[in-house]
């Protein structure tokens, strides 16, 4: 497969490695989208990390070791990636990691601690219920000057374990990519279901949607072995689907996964669906961070997981067209105001003591203009 384009410029003040040349599962692509947004808004050297000949047989044994006492050393080993050496100085090194195993990939970058004035680790999936099992490699996070976590509950516990303050930066979305051009755009997909779902609601929709002459689009494939050809194109097509959907099914992030251990988290799907102006329907996460992030009216139309009330609830909601329009407008406007990737990058820059670039300020103005078009009257709870 063709390697991604890499931004290299003498003016770059940020160095950021990316794994997109070899880690191309669909769930990983939204983090590459976050990187792309920053590259468009600032001078960034996006350092493409590539697999070496031994990567195919070294990575999995190292991952397994990280669960055991040797994980203290294993977390600092290169899993067979080609070495990347920094040949100049930077103000900031930032490692964007989806999961704990991404920490191994950072070891392919030689000299980042010497060449970068400050460093940030932005680690998304770190669950409180798993911290005891993470204990062998968790101290390795101290090599970064700043630690930013994707889940609010994890911040307090990891700060206590490491003896230093960690920070919270939740998921976001490229709002300028996902937002509809106008709130009256056509939406031929009645309900869209992506990834994990409640089987009761799924069965109810398979019966209900054809009876009302509507289209229910859902995944028929599953598993982590799926890969995409091009992460950017994957996000573009996904955004197109969402902009053409009236309803997006949602549920707590990592729903049903043992690693989350029943911990409710706010997954990326909430941000993506809301930014696209879809109505979110399903189960809202029972956690403080959801109430902080989605505090406007009709953020989620709640459905019983059994599917028993699906038809009644959806019929009742769509019987009020004014409420539907307002919910769509609220979703787009609020995401434009606070849930674009640039809002998270501004927060990370503030943590690292890096001033915002002109490109970041320009994007913020574009988002505020977008919010203004959709927010004639945003209603809060």
Q: How many CA atoms lie within 13 A of 227 on its CB side?
A: 9
Residue keyed to tokens 């799924």: 202
pTM comes to 0.93
CB 9 within 8 A of CB 45: yes
Q: CB–CB of 146/168 below 8 Å?
A: no
In the chain the first and final C-alpha atoms are separated, in Å, by 48
Domain boundaries, the chain: 14-168, 175-338
E strand spans, 296-381 = 301-302
Confidence of residue 258 (pLDDT cuts 50, 70, 90): low
pLDDT in tens, 222-245: 766 789 999 999 999 999 999 999
**Residue 81 burial (10 A CB sphere; 0-12, 13-18, 19+):** buried
- The reply to whether CATH 3.40.50 applies to domain 14-168 is yes
Mean pLDDT of 20-46: 96
- Which range (14-23, 33-42, 180-189) has the least confidence? 180-189
Asked whether residue 4 carries a pLDDT value surpassing 70, the answer given is no
Over residues 98-127, the mean pLDDT reads 95
| Predicted pLDDT of residue 248 | 98
CATH 1.10.1040.50 holds for 175-338: no
CA distance 329 to 373: 9
For residue 261, the model assigns a pLDDT of 56
Equal CATH topology for 14-168 and 175-338: yes
272 and 242 Cβ atoms separated by less than 8 Å: yes
In contact, 58 and 80? CB cutoff 8 Å: yes
- pLDDT tops 50 at residue 6: no
Structure confidence at residue 129 as a pLDDT band (50, 70, 90): confident
Question: Is the sign of the CA dihedral 355, 358, 364, 365 positive or negative?
Answer: positive
Q: What is the pLDDT of residues 55-98, one digit of tens each?
A: 999 999 999 999 999 999 999 999 999 999 999 999 999 999 99
């Amino acid at each position: 497969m063709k390697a991604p384009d890499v931004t290299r410029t003498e003016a770059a003040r940020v160095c950021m490695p990316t794994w997109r040349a070899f880690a191309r599962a669909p769930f990983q692509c939204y983090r590459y989208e976050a990187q792309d947004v920053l590259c468009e808004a600032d001078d960034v050297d996006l350092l493409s990390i590539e697999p070496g000949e031994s990567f195919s047989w070294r990575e999995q044994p190292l991952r397994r070791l990280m669960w055991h006492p040797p994980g203290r050393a294993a977390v600092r080993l290169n899993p067979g990636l080609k070495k990347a050496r920094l040949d100049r100085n930077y103000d900031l090194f930032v490692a964007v990691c989806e999961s704990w195993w991404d920490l191994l990939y950072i070891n392919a970058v030689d000299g980042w601690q010497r060449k970068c004035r400050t460093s940030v680790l932005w680690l998304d999936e770190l669950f409180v219920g798993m911290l005891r099992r993470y204990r062998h490699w968790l101290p390795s996070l101290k090599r970064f000057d700043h630690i930013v976590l994707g889940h609010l509950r994890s911040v307090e516990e990891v700060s206590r374990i490491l003896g230093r303050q960690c920070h919270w930066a939740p998921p976001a979305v490229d709002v300028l990519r996902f937002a509809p051009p106008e709130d009256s755009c056509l939406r031929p997909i009645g309900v869209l279901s992506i990834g994990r779902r409640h089987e009761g609601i799924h069965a109810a929709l398979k019966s209900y949607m054809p009876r009302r002459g509507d289209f229910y689009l859902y995944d028929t494939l599953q598993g982590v072995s799926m890969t995409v050809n091009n992460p950017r194109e994957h996000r573009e097509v996904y955004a197109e689907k969402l902009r053409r959907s009236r309803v997006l099914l949602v549920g707590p992030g990592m729903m049903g996964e043992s690693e989350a251990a029943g911990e409710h988290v706010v997954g990326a799907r909430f941000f993506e669906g809301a930014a696209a102006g879809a109505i979110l329907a399903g189960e809202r996460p029972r956690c403080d961070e959801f109430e902080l992030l989605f505090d406007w009216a009709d953020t989620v139309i709640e459905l019983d997981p059994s599917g028993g009330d699906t038809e009644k609830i959806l019929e009742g909601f769509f019987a009020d067209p004014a409420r539907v329009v307002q919910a769509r407008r609220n979703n787009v406007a609020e995401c434009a105001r606070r849930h674009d990737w640039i809002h998270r990058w501004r927060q990370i820059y503030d943590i690292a003591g890096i001033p915002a670039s002109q490109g970041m300020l320009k994007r913020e103005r574009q988002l505020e203009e977008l919010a203004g078009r959709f927010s004639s009257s945003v209603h809060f709870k």
